[in-house]
Amino acid sequence: MRSHMYFKLAATNIKKNAKMYIPYIITSIVTIMMFYIMIFLAYNPGLTGMKGSNSLGAVLTMGIYVIGIFSVVFLFYTNSFLLKRRKKEIGLYNILGMEKRHIAKMMTIENIYSYLINMILGLFFGILFSKLMLLLLIKILRAGTGFVFNISTQGLYITFIYFTVISVLILLNNIRQIHLSKPIELLRGGNVGEKEPKTKWIIAVIGILAMGTGYYMAITVDNALSALNSFFIAVILVIIGTYCLFTSGSIALLKILRKNRKYYYKTNHFTSVSGMIYRMKQNAVGLANICILSTMVLVMLSSTVCLYIGQDNVLNNRFPTNTQINTIFSNKEESESVSNTVKKIIQDSGYKIDAYNEFRFKSYTLEFNKEEKTFSPSSDIDLNIDMMHITYFFPIESYNKQTGSDITLNNNEVLIYSPDNIDVSDEFSIKDITFHVKNTIDNPGFSIQSSGSYMKLIYIFVNNEEIIKSVHDQFDDNYGDYCNLSHVIGFDIMENEEKQTELVSNIRNTLRNSEEYRNLTFQIYSTAEERFDFYALYGGLFFLGLFLGALFIMATVLIIYYKQISEGYEDKQRFYIMQQVGMSKAEVKKSIHSQVLTVFFLPLVTAIIHIVFAFKMITMMLEILNLTNVSLFVTCTIATVIIFAVFYTAVYSLTARTYYRIVE
Amino acid sequence: MILDVKNLKKVYTTRFGGHQVHALSNVTFSVDEGEFIAIMGESGSGKTTLLNIIAALDKPTSGEVFLDGNSLVGISEKQISAFRRDNLGFVFQDFNLLDNFSIKDNILLPLVLSGSTYEKMISSLNPVLAKLGISDIADKFPYEISGGQKQRAAIARAIITNPKLLLADEPTGALDSKATDSLLKLFRKINDDGQTVLMVTHSIKAAAHASRVLFLRDGSVYHQIYRGNSSNEELYQKISDTLTVLATGGGFNA
C-alpha cells in the first residue's frame, strides 16, 4: 500500500469515529491543559515570595502528582473504550487484506494525529487559561500581589515530555492489542460480553465484608487520631467493596431475584431483572469507577469548601486571642519582667487591648486510668490514644491573678478544669503523690493555644511551682530534666490588621533584641500574620479541590457518555425485538428507561451512602485541622451533594438524548 | 375466514416530499382458518411491507385488514400491542431471540407480558417444548445453541399464546439445508394441528410446503397456486415455473 493512503485512511477514520474520538480528544486536551496550569501555578516565581508559600507550594505540588497519575489511568481507560468500539472495523480491515503491520501503521498515524491535536491545543489552552486560574487563585488566597503571569517554559517542557510518554504507551498498548487478537475476535469485539455472567459468590462475599468493615471502621471511630490512622484503610476497603459489589454482588442479587419465580415472572420484573443482569455485566466496572470518582469529588469539594469557609473558625480555635507571646522555660522573675515590658509597649502604642491574660504552665501527655485514678506517662501513644490526655499544670497563682479570686490550696490539693468534661474523681495519684480535688471550675479565664484538639485536655491547678517540679520527678526520665515553666501572655489588639502587625513586630523586635532577655526563647504569634499561612493552606486546598473536582467531574461525564453510547448500540436490537414480541413502544421505552436510570443513578446513590458513612470520620479529621464547626460541614456537604446531583442529572439527561437518538 | 386483506395500498414518501414509492398498490386476498399460505415475490415486490401491515407494525395508506373480523387499521395505538400479543405469533429470519433470556424465558416472554401466572405458563410451556423437540435445551442461552434450535425456540415463542395467525418472515433464510428441511416439516406439523400460518419466503423449497402460494409483483397479488392434491415435488415444479415466468417478465398467458 502506498504510504499516503495510510494518512488518508487515518484521517477518515478519525472523522468517521468522531462520536467516539471527540470526547477522547477533549479529555486529553483538558488533562494536558490542567497539568500545565498546575505546574505553572506550583512553580510560579511569585509564589516563593508570598507568606505561607510553603503550604501552598506543597498543596499545589500534590495537585501535580494527582493530576499526573489520574491522567494516565483515565487516558488509558477512555482509549480502551475507543479501541473496543472499533474492533469490528479493525477486524474488517484485516479480513479485507490489510496485514496487522499495516493496521498498526495506520493506527500509529491516527494516534500521531490525535497526539498532535491534543498536545497543541492542550498547551495552547493551558497557556490561555493559566492567567485566569492565576487570578482565581489570587482571589481565593486573598493575596494581593506577588504572582507573576508568564509562560512557564518549565511547565511546557514537563507537560510535553510527560504526555508524549503517555501517548507512546497508549500507542504501544493499541498495537499490542491488535497483534494479540485474531480477526474473527476483532470482528466480534463490539459484542463480547453477551454471555450470561457467572455468579462469583466469593467475590460478592469479599465485597460485603470489605464494605461492611470499611463502614464499621468509619462509624465506630471515636477520636481524631485514630480516624486519621484508619481513614486510609477504610477508604481502600470501601473501594474494594464497591468494585466487588458492583461487579459480583449486583449479579448475585439479580440472580437470586430471578430464582424467585413469583417475583421474576411478572411483566415489570421480567424484562428489568434480566436486562439488568446483562447491563451490570458490561457496566459494573465503569459504574464502580463513576461511583468512586463521585465520592472523591464530593468528599474533596465538601471538605475543602468547608475548610475555606470555616477558616476563621479554625483561626479562632487555634489562637484564643489574636496575639500571643510565649516565653519558653523562664523563671518567675523573668516572666514578670517580660510581662512588664510587653505592657509598656502596648501602653506606648496607645492601641486598645482586650481579653488580656497571662499564666505560667507546664504540660505533659499522660495516660489517665479511670479505674485506678492514676496519671502516668505512656510509652506507646498509638495504643492508648483514647486514654491519652494533654495535662497542663498551673500554679494556682495564675488562676487567682486571671480571675481575681483568692483561692488557697494545700500542697496536696488541686483545682481541675476540663474543657472535654472528663470526670476526674475526688482523688487521683501520680505515682507516689496523691492529690485531692478540692473543686472543679468552669472557666479558668484563659485558654491555651492548641495545635490540634484531637486529644482531650485537662487543666490541673496546684499550690505552687515546687509541686509541679515534684510531679515531674515522678516521671523519672520520661520527660528529661526538669525545666522551668513556660509563660504565656495573650490579648486581642482591637485595631485593624495593619496596626496589629505593627504592634506585634514592635513587641517582637524589642524582646528579641533586648540584652536582658538574651537567654530566653520567645514564640510570638498574631492572627494577622498567621492568617496568610491559613489562607495559603486552606485557600490552596480549596483551589485544588475545585480544580481536581472539575477534572473528576469531567471524567465522570465522559464515562457516562461512553456508557450511554455503547448501551445505545446494544439496546437498539433489543428494543426492536421486544416490540415484535408484543410490547408496545411505550412499554419498551419505559422498561429501558427505568433500567438506564437505575444503572446511571446507582453510582450516585452509592456515592451518597459512602459520604453518609464517611461523615463522622471526616468530621474528626477536620478537627485535627482545627475545624470544629460540624454544622458548617453538614451544610457544605449537603450543598455539595445537591449541586453535584443536579449536575449529574443534567449530564445524564443530555447524554440520554444521544442515547435515544441511537436507539430509535 | 381468519384474515381478510382488502385493497391494501402503501405509499412511502421520501423525506423531503418529492418522490413517492408504491410499495403496495392494490393487494386483496383472504386466508381461511387452518391454511398454510406462502407469499413469494422478488426483492422489492412488497412482501415485507405486507407482512408489517398484517402484523400491525405499520399502517397502510389505504385499504383494510381484518383479523377474525376485527379491523386492524382502526385499532388504537394502546390496544395494538396487546392485540398483537394475543392474536399473532412471529417468526423471523434471524430468530430475534433475546440474548439475556434463557430459551425458556424467551418462550415465556409473551405470556409474562400478558400477565399470566407462573403455573399457567409452565402448563402451556411443556407441551410446546415437547412439540418442537427442545425440552432439553430449555435452560440454555441463545448463544449456546445452533441456528436450527434457535428457530425452533422462536417458533415456540410464537405459538405459545395460541395465536390466530402465525406470521413467518423468511424463517429458513439463515439455516442450512438440513435444518431447513426439519424446520419446514415442523411448520407442516403445526399447520396440521390446526395453526394458520402465513409465511413470506424466497425459497421455493419452503413455499412448496404450503397449501397455497401467493405471488406478489409490483405491489399486487399477481398469481396464486393451490396445492390441491399435489405432492411437495409437484408443487415445487409449479412454483418454479411460475417464478420463471415472473422473472422473464412476460404475462402469465405466455
Check B100 against A270: CB less than 8 A apart. no
pLDDT tens track for A358-386: 888 888 877 777 777 788 776 655 556 66
Which of the residues A257, A572, A574, A584 would you substitute to probe the B interface, choosing the one with the greatest number of B C-beta atoms within 10 Å? A584
- Band of the pLDDT at B249, cuts 50, 70, 90? low
> Is the pLDDT assigned to residue A1 strictly greater than 70?
no
Lowest mean pLDDT, pick from A256-260, A278-282, A608-612 = A278-282
What is the enclosing helix (H) or strand (E) of A487?
A: strand A486-493
Of A390, A393, A335, give the one whose Cα is nearest residue A361.
Answer: A393
Query: What is residue B254's predicted lDDT score, i.e. its pLDDT?
Result: 38
> Is the pLDDT assigned to residue A88 strictly greater than 80?
no
Lowest mean pLDDT, pick from A381-395, A639-653, B28-42 = A381-395
- The whole-model pTM stands at 0.72
- Contacts of residue A432, defined as CB under 8 A and 6 or more positions apart, other chains included, come to A474
- Contacts of residue B106, defined as CB under 8 A and 6 or more positions apart, other chains included, come to B97, B98, B142, B153, B154, B157
Rounded to whole angstroms, how far apart are CA atoms A164 and A148?
28
Check A581 against B99: CB less than 8 A apart. no
Of B165, B158, B142, B150, give the one whose Cα is nearest residue B109.
Answer: B158
Query: What is residue A187's predicted lDDT score, i.e. its pLDDT?
Result: 59
Query: Which residue does chain B place closest to A266, by CA atoms?
Result: B112
pLDDT tens track for B129-183: 988 888 899 888 888 888 888 888 998 998 898 888 999 988 887 788 888 888 8
> Is the pLDDT assigned to residue A148 strictly greater than 70?
no
- Band of the pLDDT at A444, cuts 50, 70, 90? confident
Lowest mean pLDDT, pick from A68-82, A516-530, B100-114, B216-230 = A516-530
Percentage of residues of chain A with pLDDT beyond 90: 12
The distance of B207 to chain A (nearest Cα, Å) reads 23
Check B98 against A270: CB less than 8 A apart. no
Cell 412471529 belongs to residue: B90
Nearest to A582 among B81, B97, B143 (CB): B81
Using an 8 Å CB-CB cutoff, list chain B residues near A194.
Answer: 99-100, 143
- Supply the Cα-derived Rg of chain A in whole angstroms: 32
Query: What is residue A499's predicted lDDT score, i.e. its pLDDT?
Result: 82
Which has more confidence, A568 or A167?
A: A167
Check B114 against A582: CB less than 8 A apart. yes
Query: What is residue A211's predicted lDDT score, i.e. its pLDDT?
Result: 92
- Distances from the Cα of A654 to the Cα of A185, A291, A298, A565, B165, angstroms: 33, 19, 22, 12, 43
Mean pLDDT, rounded, of chain A: 81
Of A347, A464, A453, A458, give the one whose Cα is nearest residue A407.
Answer: A464
b/e B113-145 (16+ beta carbons within 10 angstroms → b) = beebebeebeebbeebbebbebeebbebbbeeb
Which has more confidence, A399 or A203?
A: A203
Query: What is residue B16's predicted lDDT score, i.e. its pLDDT?
Result: 67
Nearest to A580 among B77, B96, B115 (CB): B96
Nearest to B118 among A194, A261, A583 (CB): A261
Which of the residues A261, A580, A592 would you substitute to probe the B interface, choosing the one with the greatest number of B C-beta atoms within 10 Å? A580
Using an 8 Å CB-CB cutoff, list chain A residues near B112.
Answer: 265-267, 270
DSSP state at residue A485: P
Contact present, B214 and B29 (Cβ < 8 Å):
yes
Using an 8 Å CB-CB cutoff, list chain A residues near B85.
Answer: 581-582
Query: What is residue A366's predicted lDDT score, i.e. its pLDDT?
Result: 79
Using an 8 Å CB-CB cutoff, list chain A residues near B109.
Answer: 270, 581
Check A265 against B109: CB less than 8 A apart. no
pLDDT tens track for A211-249: 999 999 888 887 777 777 788 888 889 999 999 998 888
> Is the pLDDT assigned to residue A513 strictly greater than 90?
no
Mean pLDDT of A29-55: 82
Rounded to whole angstroms, how far apart are CA atoms B195 and B197?
6
Check B108 against A265: CB less than 8 A apart. yes
> Is the pLDDT assigned to residue A279 strictly greater than 90?
no
- Determine how many CB atoms are found less than 10 A away from the CB of residue B231: 10
> Is the pLDDT assigned to residue A63 strictly greater than 50?
yes
pLDDT tens track for B15-42: 666 677 888 888 899 999 889 999 988 7
Check B100 against A267: CB less than 8 A apart. no
Query: Which residue does chain B place closest to A269, by CA atoms?
Result: B112
Mean pLDDT of A30-38: 92
Percentage of residues of chain A with pLDDT beyond 70: 92
Query: What is residue A562's predicted lDDT score, i.e. its pLDDT?
Result: 79
Rounded to whole angstroms, how far apart are CA atoms B68 and B72?
10
pLDDT tens track for B43-96: 777 888 888 888 877 888 888 888 888 888 777 777 777 788 888 888 888 888
